[in-house]
Amino acid sequence: MKKYLSIVLFFFAITAGAQNTFTKTLKLMGSRFDVTVVAKDSTEGNKNIDLAVAEISRIENLISSWNPESQTSEININAGQNPVKVSPELYGLIERSISLSKLTDGAFDISYASMDKIWVFDGSMTQMPSDTSIQASVAKVGFQNIILNPKNSSVFLKKKGMKIGFGGIGKGYAADKAKVLLMEKGVTAGIINASGDMNTWGKQPNGEPWKVAITNPLDKHKVFALLPILQGAVVTSGDYEKFVNLNGKRYAHIIDPRTGLPSTGIVSVTVFAPKAELADALATSVFVMGKEVGLNRVNQMPHIECIIIDDKGNIFTSKNIEIEKL
């Protein structure tokens, strides 16, 4: 559903006192993950990284719509037929996803997985799809048709052929859960980077806060801002690699689940939030809502900030954010 811009971490010092940083890069949930922890030695560091990896794998098995054995797949298979009883964890994630759909007027919607893929962003597309095919592509999308029953913790998709997927929130959720687990195990600081869904806690071994550099979406070889991040998450959603120009207009690969049309006018959205799950969902939503509506919505939410860059290179920020431009 979206493409993440790369976010470059700056490690200003590797060691200080008895603490070091240890990082492992691996493929999880179909994407690149970088797990970094602060520890006294490699044995402790690797042990804690393995804990994080196991937790992320557990979540993948729970929410993946590609795994036919997952509870999510069972919900999709039974669409239009039967409600499916799910674990409290999955039920809670779906419940929060629906709340985010209401908050964003449907710009975020886990039933986006029902969309027909009529847009192609590999350079082969030369003309607009017909209005009929665009409307038909979202006929089964609609969070209002995800029916939750708290009495028996069941989920029912009203329309046959309807599907849910967690592409817009799942990696952020996994990063949050891995962070919580490591904090419970006494890991004082670290970063879970889930393909751009960054979640941090603590500080670097030298006492400095973790800092992230936001890639310039108009020149991906440069960064335009460096920001400290403490006990929070940051997610950047961008389209500088996947878009199509049709009839003189630039269309991003991020599709509005309400209309079936690609978003226009924005090339990058970075969201800062206490949790990666929320930052993940909002980054996509602001892209779809547009800069005026997106900024207005973010400005009404406590502890949430965002940076928007439009297709002219103009930068817009929420009211409480300060950018250290490079």
Report yes or no: 176 and 50 within 8 Å, Cβ to Cβ.
Answer: no
List of the chain residues with pLDDT < 50: 1-16
Residue 9: its pLDDT value, please?
43
Please state, in angstroms and rounded to a whole number, the distance separating the CA atoms of residues 92 and 306: 26
Amino acid of residue 128: M
Taking Cα atoms as reference points, which of 184, 190, 286, 193 lies closest to residue 234?
Answer: 193
Instruction: Walk across the sheet containing 154-157 and list its strands.
Output: 84-85, 154-157, 146-149
Residue 312: its pLDDT value, please?
86
pLDDT digits (tens, 9 = 90+) for 128-172: 899 999 999 999 999 999 999 999 999 999 999 999 999 889 999
Report yes or no: 10 and 36 within 8 Å, Cβ to Cβ.
Answer: no
Cα 302 from chain centroid? 19
CA distances from 199 to 144, 176, 217 (A): 30, 7, 21
Please state, in angstroms and rounded to a whole number, the distance separating the CA atoms of residues 257 and 212: 30
- The C-alpha angle with vertex 224 and arms to 223 and 225, in degrees rounded to 5, equals 105
Report yes or no: 193 and 95 within 8 Å, Cβ to Cβ.
Answer: no
Taking Cα atoms as reference points, which of 260, 261, 214, 218 lies closest to residue 239?
Answer: 218
Report yes or no: 272 and 285 within 8 Å, Cβ to Cβ.
Answer: no
Residue 103: its pLDDT value, please?
93
Contacts of 310 (CB under 8 A, 6+ apart): 265, 266, 267, 291, 316
Backbone angles phi, psi at 219, to 5 degrees: -155, 90
Amino acid of residue 290: G
Please state, in angstroms and rounded to a whole number, the distance separating the CA atoms of residues 308 and 315: 6
Residue 323: its pLDDT value, please?
62
Please state, in angstroms and rounded to a whole number, the distance separating the CA atoms of residues 243 and 263: 10
